[in-house]
Amino acid sequence: MAVPETSLTAADLARIDGQLADTDRLLEQNYPGDDGSRQPVHTVYVPADRFTPSLAADWGTQALAAAAAHGGLARLGALLGQDAELAEAVASRVETKLASEPIEDLRLDFEDGFGDRGDDAEDAAAVAAASAVAAAVSAGSVPPFIGIRFKCFEAATRARGLRTLDLFVSGLAAAGELPEGLVLTLPKVTTVAQVRAMDYAVSRLEDIHSLPAGRLRFEVQVETPQLILGPEGTSPVAQLPHAVPGRISGLHYGTYDYSASLQISAEYQSMEHPVADFAKEVMQLAVAGTGIRLSDGSTNIIPVGDNVENAWQLHGRLVRRSLERGFYQGWDLHPAQLPSRFAATYAFYRQGLPAAAARLRNYVEQTEGGVMDEPATARALAAFVLRGVQCGAVGAEEVQALAAVGIPQLTALAHPRLATTSNS
């Protein structure tokens, strides 16, 4: 068969390549996609001076005791609307989770949870926190992700926040290797300039302690309306990934600071208020394709006293709501929130697994089914199943049986760009 002739010449194509060179670089550098690593399902915040190497295990024990005192984990599942079969399957896995890895991500809080106790007290607490985290790493009791939230970069607290950051990171560096899952959280961000300042601070710490460039990534807390809509009518949060490419690991929504700043009365401040949904939709658009993860906020309705079951139902519903909207992480503030966090999360993945696995199998085997999925949807299906495996909601053997794919293939389907890069 003769090769058909085209009208556009090689020079035309070269000119188009030249015109799009900046676009190619932008997509390559600023929109790398998700890196395929595990994302925790939650972040637990505790005052920094309360951390001990046994804290995670202690929270797991307290969480199991709370569930047992109210009829057990299967009954909790029923409270969250799960049928008996699902509730039993979820309860078994949640029990294992709370006994083995009750906290996936822990933040030692030097901000709202610590307050202003004076420089001497905070200095001592920052040094002690670094020592305690290093001890937990050595003992093997550290959660997969751990770090600090220090005070914000507004003028009144900037020096204090930087000093605490410095003492903590420097203390860890002096103790040996930094925790693999080290996370730093910059709160109450209002401008892009504050994020650039944070980029400079961690870059200097990397230089001083001979750390690889980019080792100290950080989260940005979205707690102010100025970050959603700036004074020029633009969205600063959308500029963040491009102001410091590769440095930001996540955007975390701050339920109560954000709501209060918009004059929402305390009774109506919630993760599901319309102002919260708007902010989070902007956040999703801002980081789409950048590889930056998203986290929803918290509920301050705690399952204690006479309010345990109502608080569990509220928390479970809010967790499920976040998951359905593409926010796969949230905040927990109390041990008794862990049962509802994992029960709701595990039910989400287990309920969705059969249909997702069937569609994924049809896609992989190119079998006609009731839904004709495109590659983008197949990626979403694979990512959903992979998240379920990573958090412990479903087992690799279940995925193999239902989707006929192993975890390496599942990961490649969820993150094909990553697989292409590793094979090149």
- The CATH number that applies at residue 291 is 3.20.20.60
Both 416 and 302 in one domain: the answer is no
Q: Among 292, 325, 351, which residue terminates a domain?
A: 351
Predicted local distance difference test score (pLDDT) of residue 424: 43
Who's near 293: CB < 8 A, 6+ residues apart? 34, 39, 249, 250, 251, 287, 328, 329
Both 374 and 307 in one domain: the answer is no
C-alpha dihedral, 329 to 297 to 104 to 205, nearest 10° = 100
Both 274 and 392 in one domain: the answer is no
Predicted local distance difference test score (pLDDT) of residue 61: 98
Both 193 and 302 in one domain: the answer is yes
Q: How far is CA 351 from the centre of its chain?
A: 22
Predicted local distance difference test score (pLDDT) of residue 4: 85
* Local structure of 395: helix, strand or coil: coil
CA-to-CA distance for 13 and 26, rounded, in angstroms? 20
Percent of the chain with pLDDT over 90: 92
Both 337 and 223 in one domain: the answer is yes
Both 220 and 312 in one domain: the answer is yes
* Domain membership flag for residue 21: no
CA-to-CA distance for 382 and 409, rounded, in angstroms? 9
What number of helices (H) and strands (E) belong to the chain?
A: 18, 8
Q: H-helix or E-strand containing 180?
A: none
Predicted local distance difference test score (pLDDT) of residue 193: 98
Q: Among 313, 332, 351, which residue terminates a domain?
A: 351
CA-to-CA distance for 178 and 382, rounded, in angstroms? 32
> Which residues face 145 on adjacent strands?
105
Taking only the tens place, the pLDDT of each residue in 54-69 is: 999 999 999 999 999 9
* Average pLDDT of span 263-285: 97
* Domain membership flag for residue 16: no
pTM above 0.75, yes or no: yes
| DSSP annotation string for 37-75 | ----SEEEEEEGGG--TTHHHHHHHHHHHHHHHTT-HHH
Burial class (CB in 10 A: 0-12, 13-18, 19+), 72: middle
Both 249 and 381 in one domain: the answer is no
* Average pLDDT of span 386-405: 96
Among 121, 200, 212, smallest CA distance to 164 is for: 121
CA-to-CA distance for 338 and 343, rounded, in angstroms? 8
Q: Among 351, 378, 393, which residue terminates a domain?
A: 351
Who's near 325: CB < 8 A, 6+ residues apart? 280
Amino acid letter, residue 236: P
CA-to-CA distance for 200 and 306, rounded, in angstroms? 48
pLDDT band at 83, cuts 50/70/90? very high
* Domain membership flag for residue 18: no
* Domain membership flag for residue 167: yes
* Domain membership flag for residue 7: no
Q: Which domain holds residue 147?
A: 42-351
Number of domains in the chain: 2
* Average pLDDT of span 8-17: 96
Q: Is the pLDDT confidence value at 354 over 60?
A: yes
pLDDT band at 5, cuts 50/70/90? confident
Amino acid letter, residue 419: A
Taking only the tens place, the pLDDT of each residue in 290-329 is: 999 999 999 999 999 999 999 999 999 999 999 999 999 9
Predicted local distance difference test score (pLDDT) of residue 419: 57
Among 187, 167, 27, smallest CA distance to 107 is for: 187
* Mean pLDDT, the chain, integer: 95
* Average pLDDT of span 74-79: 97
Predicted local distance difference test score (pLDDT) of residue 372: 61
Q: What is the CB neighbour count within 10 angstroms for residue 180?
A: 10
* Domain membership flag for residue 169: yes
Q: H-helix or E-strand containing 149?
A: strand 145-149
* Domain membership flag for residue 251: yes
Both 346 and 317 in one domain: the answer is yes
Both 288 and 305 in one domain: the answer is yes
* Domain membership flag for residue 205: yes
Taking 3-state DSSP, the helix, strand and coil percentages for the chain, each rounded to the nearest 5, stand at: 60, 10, 35
CA-to-CA distance for 100 and 88, rounded, in angstroms? 19
Both 357 and 346 in one domain: the answer is no
Both 199 and 231 in one domain: the answer is yes
Both 135 and 158 in one domain: the answer is yes
Predicted local distance difference test score (pLDDT) of residue 370: 53
